[in-house]
Structure 1
Amino acid sequence: MDLSLIKVFIIIYQTKNISHAAERLNLSQPSVTYNLNRLRKTLNDPLFIRDKFGVKPTKLAENLYPTFYESIVKIDLAIDSAKNFDPFTSNKTFRLGVSDLGEICLLPSLMQYLVQHAPNIKLEIEEIHSDKVEEWLIEGFIDVAVFNSSYTIMPQIESRNLFEEHYVCIANKNHPRIQTALNLTQYLYERHISIKSSTGHIEIDQRIKELGYSRKIMLEVPHFSVLENIVKNSDLLVTLPSRAAAVYQSNTDVNIFQLPFEVRPFNVSVNWYNHRDDVEARKWFCSILKNIFSTL
């Protein structure tokens, strides 16, 4: 059987989407469909059936995936063992899952480093969904995840803490009511922008609820990186990690305030699954992430 067909099968299985598989494989969507149809004919099974989110595997596909994946891993491992990983010449693609904090704080420095030290490496970014990270890492949809994993139990995943982070509040520098300090009454009176809990940011509203209060949420967004113009042109408050707040303060006119109530700090960690392929490349990538975050 043609090895390229097996690789197409694996990527479709991991992404559950033909167009996403085409992007991962750097092929056109018709080429992926053509190769999939060849494999379907060989195995006399549809392998993947369309659903509203993309495609889902048939029973045969579910049975074949572990064997196909292990075979490809062994082949890739044999190839990798014959050559040392050199980031400067490697054209590997790393798939990185990051939280909004990572988008804002890590990506600019990471891209600057890669341009200088690993110019042929490609980076693909996926927005973190805390309830899917373990599955994504195990299935190879992403190689590494950087996020607040304090509330995510992932027994099969390797994890290393990068740094401790805490929340602060930012407001427009010309805010009509808040200028020099922020007390609890003001915090509860003002309207807020919140981040969806699926990204892992649940500490603030949990703590406010524990204190017997609630805050006025006017806008809920999937991540912090979309907020700059909104904060600059409104009186809405945003509670966010201190490193992200510092980035906003350097780019726009905002004030940073300590929260008027205690909230436990949290750890941002780098997480990966011990696939047997690309061990040296993954070690290198994780070390780069750790080194870059240590300077932020």
Structure 2
Amino acid sequence: MIDLSLIKVFIIIYQTKNISHAAERLNLSQPSVTYNLNRLRKILNDPLFERDKFGVKPTKLAQDLYPDFYDAIVKIDLAIDAAKNFDPKTSNKTFRLGVSDLGEICLLPSLMQYLIAYAPNIKLEIEEIQCDKVEEWLVEGFIDVAVFNSTYTIMPKIESRNLFEEHYVCIANKNHARIQGDLTLAQYLGEKHIAIKSSTGHVEIDQKVKELGYHREVMLEVPHFSVLENIVKNTDLLVTLPSRAAKVYQHNTDVNIFKLPFEVQPFHVSVNWYKHRDDVEARKWFCRILKNIFSTL
């Protein structure tokens, strides 16, 4: 791989046709420019420039390389400039967002409304959170930001800020055959349940039930809550889920929300990112928008 600084030296020498003039434009000493040119000559196995009475002239290889080298440097400079001067109104950046099921249900509709109104060229790619992989994904840049319950996920390399506190409730079909008033522990344990896979961070409920010495019968396990609307509407299965997601279901379908018949500690939903050196301003803006939207939910 060729050092980009060598490519920039090559381009300026090509444009000025003079080593001294190139050094002035690059704000380098003439020996430094010559040293870098010699490094590139060695890599490409070609003199690249030959002396003439006015300075230097490019070889055939240099003439062939210049258009591609120049286009590449222009694109890199434009990308760096865009990152430093991020403007959501004109940016066409793609953000890769890792979210839990709570984020899918509660955040995405409002986030998309905001982007359409205020950042219409920005694109969004969603990745379902896997708690055991999220730190690696953030560090490697597979996702830009992750929003989820990170209470049980240790990520020493990751920056994190709490967005809000959340607690669990239970929802059931509004016409449930056996549950209409307050939900008792006997009723909760006597019914069949839909559960969310623990890999998404939802472990509190089964941990608490086990601590109490009980067991709940899970008939269906799903990767996220967003697939449940028709199932809850047409069965007597219970779902234990965060209160904000429950309110979305209550708004969209005929369900009742019940307080759990046992105490479960609330949890914090956080926004998480890795301090990559690129796109700092864009990432700050995106995290700020996520926080602002969640504060209204």
TM-score interval, smaller chain: 0.7 to 0.9
How many correspondences in the alignment? Answer: 226
Measure the CA separation in 1 of the matches of 2:124 and 2:82: 23
CA deviations 1:182-208 (Å, max 9, x no partner) are 000000000000000000000000000
Name the counterpart of 1:270: 271
Name the counterpart of 2:257: 256
Contact 2:171–2:255 (Cα < 8 Å) also in 1: yes
Name the counterpart of 1:100: 101
Where in structure 1 do 4 or more consecutive aligned residues deviate above 6 Å? none
CA 87–209 in structure 1, closer or farther in 2 if over 3 Å, else same: same
Alignment of 1:3-14 (within 5 A): none
Measure the CA separation in 2 of the matches of 1:81 and 1:262: 50
The amino acid that maps onto 2:249 is Y
Query: What secondary structure is seen at the aligned counterpart in 2 of 1:106?
Result: helix
Please, what is the CA RMSD of the aligned residues? 1.8
Give the percent of matched residue pairs that are identical in Structure 1 and Structure 2: 85
Query: What secondary structure is seen at the aligned counterpart in 2 of 1:231?
Result: helix
Aligned: 1:80 with 2:81: yes
Measure the CA separation in 2 of the matches of 1:78 and 1:187: 55
CA 97–113 in structure 1, closer or farther in 2 if over 3 Å, else same: same
The amino acid that maps onto 2:193 is H
Query: What secondary structure is seen at the aligned counterpart in 1 of 2:116?
Result: helix
Name the counterpart of 1:152: 153
Gaps of 5+ in 1: 4-71
CA deviations 1:130-174 (Å, max 9, x no partner) are 000000000000000000000000000000000000000000000
CA deviations 1:88-145 (Å, max 9, x no partner) are 0000000000000000000000000000000000000000000000000000000000
Name the counterpart of 1:228: 229
Contact 2:83–2:281 (Cα < 8 Å) also in 1: no
Measure the CA separation in 2 of the matches of 1:159 and 1:245: 25
Cα shift at 1:77: 9.5
Cα shift at 1:2: 9.0
CA 259–229 in structure 1, closer or farther in 2 if over 3 Å, else same: same
Measure the CA separation in 1 of the matches of 2:155 and 2:126: 21
Report which of the two structures shows the higher radius of gyration computed on alpha carbons. 2
Query: What secondary structure is seen at the aligned counterpart in 1 of 2:289?
Result: helix
Measure the CA separation in 2 of the matches of 1:142 and 1:80: 22
TM-score, reference length from structure 2: 0.74
Name the counterpart of 2:129: 128
TM-score, reference length from structure 1: 0.74
